[in-house]
Structure 1
Amino acid sequence: MSIPVVTVGAANEAVVDGLERLHGPVTVVRRCSELTELLAACQSGLALAAIVGDGSEELTTTLVDRLGAVGVCVVALTDSEDEARRLRSIGVVAASADIEPVVLAAEISRAVERTSSYGQADGPRSTGFAAPAADSPTAPQPEEAMAETSGSGRIFAVWGPAGAPGRTLLAVNMAAELAADGQSVILVDADSYGASVSAMLGLLDESAGLAQACRLADQGLLDIEALTAAASEVFTKAGSFRVLTGTTRADRWTELRAAALTLVLERARQLADVVVIDTGFCLEADEELTFDTLAPRRNASTLCSLELADVVFAVGSADAIGVPRLVRGLAELELVVQQASPRVVLNKVKRSAVGYAPEQQLAEAWSRYGPAFGIEAYIPSDPEACDAALLSGSVLLECAPDSDLRRAIAGLVCAPVHQKRHSFGRTARAPRRLKR
């Protein structure tokens, strides 16, 4: 098969000339003067591979992801070991600047073969639909880079439809309960519409930790130390956990690119036992309707988080508006993230909104009109405990440790904490002390 190649950089003309003299399947179809010209040539469908001889320091995760979206693999020539390591971490094939043309042709052929086979069958960690070009999967990283970023931690994504069903409340307190259970936890605020984790925990909203980590990942500079430095540490009386705070303004959503966020989450899996993500509500991909399908997408952070998650908690308000919204949202979630098997959580359960025996009535209504999977948990309404936690900038574990709300949330992630958990509506009240 013929492999058309475009090149950029004059420092390695000898290698490119030798590649042309081979008269093999690898053919140089254009020599570009700058990286932007190379990008335009690749997006026009002119090549299957790009050789970067000069200016490899300008390559970022986002740029490599855009080239991978149109089926182009990137090969960079460098003699710096540090630069080669950085390039491999963002999915670039790094080769020596004085590589033999025959060896370079073989490297290009293998890279193109990996890219084409990846496009035919996405791997289990594919984030193709969440990348800037939804119809074309992102080019895979080399085996060395995948080995570096793979981790054993689990990812819990907390999602819910519009209407403030309690995503942030659930995510923050899940992280606190997991930390109290002795696990290392990173809480990520990936809501591109209304990031609020920092406000709920009383953290200074001076910088966006997640945006900072994404910038480093985009440049291929995100390691364990850099991720730890970008995260804020929150201490409770039972443990501590790290937080990657969300964007400080809603218009900064463009900093949460899918390709960079994927690297951040994979690195977080390597650092922590559990990664809890507070996602946004919107699952639409309406940006694809614009003329530039490679432009940033506001919902990419939510879609990417849901696709990478090991467990998706779908939370909805237990009332006449929240339940139908959740049912419609779950149907949409099934379409955009087919591998997701969400654990349904109904929040703000109270008699005044549902009636007598609210859990029973919600279960009966769900069995008639809801999806095939059942309700995982019922979270009781406790506005006083929520207000106290928000006012003090703390978690329920500290301000309302004995509340049914706190026990219900902890029961989702660490069951031993909830041996005292009671069914809402049939809660055994503690005996009152008699006054003297």
Structure 2
Amino acid sequence: MSIPVVTVGDSREDLVGRLERLHGPVSVVRRCSELAELLAACQGGLARAAVVAEGSEELTASLVDRLSAVGVVVVALTDRPEETARLRGIGVAAELTGVDAAALANRIEAAVALLAADPRLRQGDNAVQAVGSTAAGRSGGTAGEAAERSAEGRIIAVWGPAGSPGRTMLAANMAAELAAEGKSVLLVDADSYGASIAAMLGLLDEAAGLAQACRLADQGLLDGEALLRVAVPVVTKTGIFHVLTGITRADRWTELRAAALSLVLARARQVAEVIVIDTGFCLESDEELSFDTMAPRRNAATLRSLELADTVFAVGAADSIGVPRLVRGLAELEAAVPHVCPQVVLNKVRQSAVGRSPERRLRDAWERYGPAVPVSGFLPADPVSTDAALLSGSLLLETAPDSPLRRGIAALVCAPAQRNRGSSVFSSTSKRRPKD
């Protein structure tokens, strides 16, 4: 059975005629006059491959992602090396305009077979398709992709349910602690509801660095130099890291499309040893919120960040409201991103909300009533230090380097192998507290 193909541009004898005369693996079912018509035909289920002979400059990563989602591969014809590199970067198979008809048909057949075998893979030679888990990518990708990934930076995503459990505080200070260890760090604000990294760090930035990076990635123009150019450097007393600030208004969430964000994070892995992502709280997949299955997804930035993360920290507030929210949130997280094994962190631990020996009480309650995921860390409430840092637009390692909260965050992210599960930040600090 031949593969149905739609084309746009060069629709006379040159391209279409050559393909039709083959009577081989492909069959041209429609000749479109423009890209919009081609997109409509593909979304209507008319074809499994699209050949763009003219107007390849209009192709973007989001458009290719939309076509891939309906099982359509894209092949573009161009003679320009820079355009070939751009197209392959966004997942398009590129061929020369004078390609032999049989070779083009074989390329289409191979691309369709690849997409059918694993929908997460795109047909472009150098494209980075980031749908699915990191583990799935390692086992299901090509050998070259697995080898390349092993040499790239790792992604840490900080997630938590609604209610201000401390996601942004934890993500920002994790980035600072890793930078203090000498690592190259990129902090990404992917919260599509209430981005606040810039405000926390005192950055007067209205450019929305992540949105800029996604726009460049969507056009296939994002390289390492461009990524660092749109990122804001933050200098502390002990190190430097870069920040991709979040969207400046919540209604700009459509700029954070999943396909573009995947490419941004893939590029970030190449320029930074560690990428720390501050995610949003909502995990709804949005299918029930839209009649158009190809429409942008409000929570795509959060879900894609969690899908691609090597490590996910799930943070919740340690009180009678925050803990149940976290328990329910972990169930939602498992349903939304099944492969994730989060490291649970209880934040704002204090006697006034839990009682005496708060860590022991919380651990006992969690082991008895909580999910199977153990608690990886307890962070004490320290409003004096966090308020001082927020007021000055600084981080804990600058305003309160000896605070128990700062030490707890550093232990979580910098030296997990040395962390003693039975140790308590509270018990260690209580030994230093003079008796009344």
**Same fold at TM > 0.5:** yes
Once the 2 structures are TM-superposed, how far is the Cα of residue 119 of structure 1 from its aligned partner?
3.1
**1-structure distance, mates of 2:149, 2:132:** 21
Q: CA deviation at 1:430?
A: 4.2
Mapped partners of 1:334, 1:63: distance in 2: 29
Query: SS state of the match for residue 188, structure 2?
Result: strand
Equivalent residue number for residue 365 of structure 1: 365
Q: In the alignment, is the contact (CA less than 8 A) between 2:120 and 2:130 conserved in 1? A: no
Matched, 1:424 2:426: yes
Cα 1:170–1:431 shift into 2, 3 Å: closer
**1:137 paired residue number:** none
In structure 2, the CA distance between the partners of 1:210 and 1:296, relative to structure 1 (3 Å rule), is: same
| Residue in structure 1 matched with residue 315 of structure 2 by the alignment | 315
Instruction: Give per-residue Cα distances to partners, 1:126-185, cap 9 Å, x unaligned.
Output: 75479xxxxxxxxx9999999989851110000000000000000000000000011110
Change (3 A) 1:144 1:97: farther
Query: 1:51·1:74 contact (CA, 8 Å) conserved in 2?
Result: yes
Please give the alpha-carbon distance, in whole angstroms, between the structure 1 residues aligned to 2:417 and 2:432.
18
| 2:196 counterpart letter in structure 1 | S
Alpha-carbon deviation of 1:424?
1.4
Assess, with a 3 A threshold, how the Cα gap between structure 1 residues 57 and 40 changes in structure 2: closer, same or farther: same
Partner of 2:125: none
Query: Partners of 2:29 and 2:370 in 1: how far apart?
Result: 56
Alpha-carbon distance, 1:416 to partner: 8.7
Q: Tell me the equivalent position of 1:203.
A: 203
Quote the residue 1:387 is aligned against: 387
Distance 1:336 1:306 in 2: 9
Check the 8 A contact 1:407/1:417 in 2, yes or no.
Answer: no
Over 3 Å counting, the alpha-carbon distance change for 1:417 and 1:235 in structure 2 is: farther
* Correspondence for 1:355: 355
Q: Which residue of 2 aligns with 1:27?
A: 27
Corresponding residue for residue 84 of structure 2: 84
The Cα RMSD (Å) is: 2.6
Which residue in the other structure is 1:175 paired with? Answer: 175
Mean alpha-carbon deviation: is it higher for 174-183 or for 408-417? 408-417
Q: Deviations over 1:355-403 (max 9, x none)?
A: 0000000011001111112100000000000000000001000000000
Measure, in 2, the Cα distance between the counterparts of 1:371 and 1:191: 26
Structure 2 residues without counterparts, runs of 5 or longer: 123-127, 134-139
Is the 2:286–2:298 contact (alpha carbons within 8 Å) kept by the matching residues of 1? no
What's the TM-score once normalised by structure 1's chain length?
Answer: 0.91
CA deviations 1:109-138 (Å, max 9, x no partner) are 10001010013999xx975479xxxxxxxx
Is the 8 Å Cα contact of residues 129 and 262 (structure 2) preserved in structure 1? no
Q: 2: CA distance between counterparts of 1:11 and 1:105?
A: 16
Task: Note the alpha carbon deviations across 1:260-309, whole angstroms, 9 max, x for none.
Answer: 00000011011111000000000012344421011001100000000000
Equivalent AA in structure 2 for residue 305 of structure 1? S
Offset at 1:200?
0.3
| Separation in 2, partners of 1:382, 1:350 | 9
Q: 2:14 corresponds to which letter in structure 1?
A: A
Q: Which runs of 4+ in 1 moved over 6 A?
A: 140-150, 416-421
* Kept in 1: contact 2:412–2:419 (CA 8 A): no
CA displacement at 1:15 relative to structure 2: 2.3
% same residue:
66
Q: Name the residue aligned to 2:136.
A: none
Change in Cα spacing, 1:194 to 1:116, as seen in structure 2 (3 Å) is same
362 and 416 in structure 1: CA distance in 2 versus 1, 3 angstrom threshold = closer
Residues 258-273 of structure 1: matches in 2 within 5 Å?
Answer: 258-273=258-273
Q: How many residues align?
A: 422
